[in-house]
Structure 1
Amino acid sequence: MAVIIEDLNRNLLRNLLRGPRQPTTKLFERPKYNDIWAGLLFIAVFLGYVAVSGVTIHRYAKYKGFSGGGIYDASNDFSLNTNTLVLFIFVLCVALAFSYAYFLGARYFSKLFIWVTGILNIVFALATGIYYIVRGQYGGGIVFLIFGVFAIVCFISWIPRIPFTAYMMEVSIDVSRQYGHMFLVSTIGGLVAVAFAAWFSVTLVSIYVAYEPDSTGVNPACPNGSGGCSTARVIGLVVYVTFAMYWFSEWLKNTVHTTIAGVYGSWYFFANSPQGMPHGATRGAFRRATTYSFGSISFGSLILALIQMLRQACSIAQQQEAAQGSLIGSIGFWVLGCFISLLDWLVTFFNRYAFCHIALYGKAYIPSAKDTWKMMKDRGVDALVNDCLVGPVLTMGSVFVSYVCALLAYLYLQFTNPGYNQGGDFTAVIMAFAFVIGLQICQIFMTPVSSGIETIFAAMAWDPQVLVHDHSEMYYRLVQLYPKVQQAIHA
């Protein structure tokens, strides 16, 4: 009798979802090239980065003896040198190790992973704040303590939603285990991110070595003030290569995301259909992401790169104010940084689902964003998305890795005490770049986990009947954990 009643309930629930089903024949059709201007601009900026990097690294190699060959043997006491390069190597190793460990934790221990992420962020933020206060840097210490209190409040509010989030992570990871090449895509993307971060680190140090002027005339790259050296040139080149780094990192992350979203879309629409999974789904998704959708991905990544440049500038200013003991200035820049971070979160959220639509339907960036947002609001899936903690949890994890990298940079500068940083002038800048390196590498490694869930939500918005008919077990489990799902996807 119980079985009969459950069957009747299942049939009743299937009939609740009415409305035309999005024809699957429209999925994965041969698209056209979109947003070509953004793709060409991205290539031009990257080639400019290559040119700047080549020239500055050549000048660095030419005068390498002046900048030292290790941690303590540099004659250069006025700008970044090989000591800084060694630090960035340590930062890269730490970011790679922590990111991969975090990735494995998400893959094998989903529920525990969420708890550990929240607790570690709270403990680390509070400990860092206390450490800064003990060291006499009250501005930075108070900011980190505020972060810690905010993390506590957020985590307590998340506890009721942890079972729902853990199940969505399990679904995403179970699918990825069936198609192990998705982890291969993520691993390759992570390694490319590490390699690019290493390249960026060398380029950044080389810019200072090659063009930082010195009033005493000690810098052999700038004899008697010549050689094109000036503070303005250093600032301009640093801003340019940092912007290029952000844009490339975002493009890489979003290319991995779009590729994996294409595979999850294939699974959602075809895994339990008569046609079955398309052959070479990963290869096809990657080809579309790097050809037809290259411009669209570049466009969306450009918007994020500009916002993140502003956020980093605000972070550097806040840390400099804290180092100078200016509590009001430090808190002021922290508040401004919070607003910029909120804008960054909103645009990132918007982009992720737009890229899911691009992966499935191959449209241009703006039409994809409009269509996805409209459908999610019509279906009510935006409420479902907001109640899933995967995005915030992965962000907290990435920020934790960034904290570790920034703290490593701070401790390294304290213990090695390089000549160029006797007054602490470069501490804020170096910590900010270490933070960014850790954040970007971890986010790229964690892309498969979030991409799967976001694609499932987007596909549910477009065709909820597929969820009920082809993935009924997942649907009924969702109803148990999150009863609102019936209203969220009800047309």
Structure 2
Amino acid sequence: MQPPENQSLALNGREVNIQNLPHLQQYNAKRREAKMKEIQTGVDLLQSVGIFPSRRPCQDVVWAVLFLSVVAATACFSIYYFQDIDTSRNEDAAFRDHETLNHQQVEALTAHVGRLTLAGVAGTLASLVFAFFFMMLAKACAKPLVYAALFFVPALTIVAGLVLLGLVMAREPVSVMSLIPGGCLVALGVCYASCVCCCWRRYIPFTVEVVEMVAEISNDNPCMVAVSVLGSFAAAIWVMLVAICWVGVTIKYKSDTADQDLNASEPINFAFLFLICWGGGVIHNVCHTSYCGVFGRWYFNEEGWPLVSSVRVALTTSFGSICLGSLVVAVIRMIEYAVRVAQQEAQSEGNYVACVVFCVLDCFISCIGDILEYFNEWAYVQCALRGSSFCKSVRATYALCVCNGIQYVIADLLVDSVVSLGAFMSGLVGCGMGLAVALSGLERSPDGARTGAGAGQDYAMVAIIGGFLGFFGGVIGGASAMSIFSSGTKALLTCWAEDPRPLQEEYSGIHDTIAAKIHDHESN
């Protein structure tokens, strides 16, 4: 394999000799030549297709058609099975009077379905409202927020360890072995906090600057939260459709009573889990691509309605690329799930050699899935900017990052910690709202005591399920809104690699910091 003839490329306002890139020096001659050719292909795409072209052809159409066909089939099956369950179960008096494993009557449980559904919806809406104020808070005081995000996990781990130790020591007698779990949690939290102080402290100022910039742009485009709202409800509807299909298949072929085991065969479980992963990935990446389009249009000062244009691109010309990339990740996740099932079976059979092998394989496949999922988000930036196909976007992203040293900047960013904190806090807000809604409609007697359907275990059940649904919906909604920070960071760094001048004019300090980081790494 011969190296590319043109090894000097004009990119990012400077001449880049791809043969001398520091990233390639770790490979042998054969692999270096292959990677040089990949970079050349990506650069050719970057130079042949401009930013925000006036006309965008639909890319990877076959994958969009396949996904939409799967969605249509899932919706039809869910309607069919829902009607079948309703006619064959809910009208059966014997079924309504049947008691479940925790001695609750089915008829009593179905009385709470509407309220519990409302609890999940209310939790999602409350989390989105909280996420909006969280973005405003990030603009006003980004530094305390970043510190809180970094120390939140170690603090939570230490508190959990101390609580566990307190519970153990409150009992008599206290054994040394019973103190080990709590002590391990405390030690783990202390080690985590030490890493934040010693290893990550130098990255905090740069992260604060980036969070402030992304929050300011987000507050100038507050309608992006509307995409989060639609994405959250689309994800909830998709999960509901798939769940109805799963329950319908299970009941139709495996069960006629409320208490029988409803576990379907493993192939059916694999199929429905695959649908959850693929559909959820498509919804998340549509939102991500829309966010990237908004930030890209702000960066290059494109006229028009940035949110409308970005959503239209994500749902039309780039939808096939989003479906393809999400499909690849979903397949990897299914392989990961299959390995975990095999590991559990080996463990139950006492085959420890196979258990260790599957454990190692699980870690390896999980890392591959995480890498693909992370890199796909960078590739979708090119889909938002140029409207290229998924495979071409991957090549263009690789070339852009390697030729401009963006990987060095990514390594110094801790924005994901802020995203995780915001998502968790949104979940807590959703949990509180869901709990309040779930319990608000329970009947009260004149003296204020719970009666009827709200008594005893039923009361506790409604509280637990309502809080869980609120938390679940809150995490989904909060994570969707908080991903604006992650998407905005990726989009802005990619746009800077395309053309650094707009960032230099608007945020000269961040531009100088990025350039200095890349120069320092390349010098070393």
Q: TM-score, normalised by structure 2?
A: 0.66
Name the counterpart of 1:186.
228
2:213 to 150, 171, 180: 171
* Deviation of the 1:99 alpha carbon: 6.1
Shift of 1:127: 5.3
The residue type paired with residue 18 of structure 1 is R
Q: In structure 2, how many angstroms separate the alpha carbons of the residues matched to 1:321 and 1:434?
A: 36
Q: CA shift at 1:368, angstroms?
A: 0.7
Aligned to 1:248: 279
Amino acid at match of 1:64: N
> In 1, are the aligned partners of 2:430 and 2:474 still within 8 Å (CA)?
yes
Contact 1:36 1:295 in 2 (8 A): yes
Matched letter for residue 459 of structure 1: C
In 2, Cα distance between the equivalents of 1:318 and 1:94? Answer: 36
- In the aligned structure 2, how far is the partner of 1:150 from the partner of 1:161? 18
Q: Which residue of 2 aligns with 1:8?
A: none
Match of residue 35, structure 1, among 56, 60, 78: 60
Confirm whether residue 343 of structure 1 aligns to residue 384 of structure 2: no
Paired position in structure 1 for 2:130 = 101
- For the residues of structure 2 that align with 1:147 and 1:447, how far apart are their CA atoms? 27
The answer to whether the 8 Å contact 2:153/2:189 transfers is yes
- 2:210 and 2:510 in contact (8 A); partners too: no
Structure 1 residue 458 displacement after superposition:
0.8
Which stretch shifts more, 16-25 or 245-254? 16-25
3-state secondary structure, aligned to 1:192:
helix
User: Amino acid of the residue matched to residue 187 of structure 1?
Assistant: V
1:306 equivalenced with 2:331 (yes/no) = yes
CA-atom RMSD in angstroms: 5.3
Once structures 1 and 2 are overlaid, which stretch shifts more, 371-380 or 329-338? 329-338
Question: Which whole-Å CA distance do the structure 2 matches of 1:101 and 1:67 have between them?
Answer: 44
Q: Aligned partners of 1:132, 1:87: CA distance in 2, in Å?
A: 31
Structure 1 SS opposite 2:56:
coil
Larger radius of gyration: 2
How many angstroms apart in 2 are the aligned matches of 1:111 and 1:193? 32
User: If the length of structure 1 is used for normalisation, what is the TM-score?
Assistant: 0.69
Note the alpha carbon deviations across 1:252-273, whole angstroms, 9 max, x for none.
111111122122112212x2xx
Contact 1:138 1:322 in 2 (8 A): no
CA change 1:453–1:66 in 2 (3 A) is farther
Looking at structure 2, the residues matched to 127 and 207 of structure 1 have their Cα atoms a distance apart, in angstroms, of 43
Contact in 2 for aligned 1:379/1:489 (Cα 8 Å)? no
Distance 1:69 1:304, change over 3 A: farther
Partner residue of 1:122 out of 154, 176, 186: 154
**Aligned pair partner of 1:112 in 144, 147, 158:** 144
The answer on whether the counterparts of 1:164 and 1:478 sit within 8 Å (CA) in structure 2 is: no
| Cα 1:434–1:97 shift into 2, 3 Å | closer
Partner of 2:316: 291
User: How many matched pairs?
Assistant: 436
Distance change >3 Å, CA 230–CA 265, structure 1 → 2 = closer
Instruction: Name 1:451's counterpart in structure 2.
Output: 487
Number of the residue aligned with 2:14: 18
| Deviation for aligned residue 1:293 | 0.9
Is 1:479 matched up with 2:504?
A: no
Q: CA deviation at 1:364?
A: 0.6
Residue identity opposite 2:313 in structure 1:
R
CA displacement, residues 418-475 of structure 1 (integer Å, 9 cap, x when unaligned): 9xx9xxxxxxxxxx9999877654432223221111111111112224433xx2x413
Correspondent of 2:78 among 53, 57, 61: 53
Superposed CA deviations along residues 359-396 of structure 1, whole A, max 9, x for unmatched, are 11111101110111111111101111121111354246
Distance 2:345 2:95 in 1: 29
Listed one character per residue, the Cα deviations across residues 228-266 of structure 1 (whole Å, up to 9, x for unaligned) are x98545x44443232212211111111111122122112
Q: Secondary structure at the match of 2:507?
A: helix
Give ranges in structure 1 of 5+ residues lacking alignment.
1-15, 223-228, 272-276, 422-431
Which residue of the partner structure matches residue 372 of structure 1? 397
SS at match of 1:166: helix
The alpha-carbon distance between structure 1 residues 315 and 434, as it changes in their structure 2 partners (threshold 3 A), is farther
Residue 196 (structure 2) aligns with: 155
Residue 263 of structure 1, aligned match among 282, 285, 294: 294
